[in-house]
Amino acid sequence: MWVFGYGSLIWKVDFPYEEKMVGYITGYSRRFWQGSTDHRGVPGKPGRVVTLVEDPELTKQAQCSTVSVNVTFCIFLGCVWGVAYRLPAGQEVEVKAYLDFREKGGYRTTTVIFYPKDPSIKPFNVLLYIGTCDNPNYLGPAPLEDIAEQIFNAVGPSGRNTEYLFELANSIRNLVPEDVDEHLFSLEKLVKELLERNQNLNCI
């Protein structure tokens, strides 16, 4: 069994696995539209974490381009990059139960096709955790400035919401330097500006 991580599962890997692989899925966009009251926020003052917004049209639009060294990259239109983990043989049920608990805040599972970054490896099915718009913690879209403000102020049992954002942005940047996740990196920029502004005010 393979599980695809596109948020904290990329950088906070607190479960056993036998193999991991960088790659992408199509037909979705990564968005900070899911509320978090159990990790990066609290009830009444939720943080924001990522979920995936489904758009079947993006699958049709997703294109691929061969670049140097015969490596095929998605052109990032309708592609979400992340990491797939193969769960240990004989422990799949146990590890999945832990992940179900970790992702209990409004996420359900579905199966999608995963495209490895290494073009010599054929695509295969992975399990995906997704917070759909009908779950109780779903916050939905908002102006980026408002989302940035909410992330800047939120803190929960797992730590500050800003840590979640910065760890994810750094991980994607390191794993796939070619990715241009505008939503993610725009929020990173806005929150860093808020932090700098707040530090400057404290110095006055």
Active-site residue set: 103
CA distance linking residue 65 with residue 72, whole number of Å: 6
- How do the residues of the chain divide into helix, strand and coil, expressed in percent and rounded to 5? 35, 35, 30
Assign residue 36 a region: left if phi > 0, alpha if psi is -120 to 50, beta otherwise?
beta
Contact 4, 76 (CB under 8 A): no
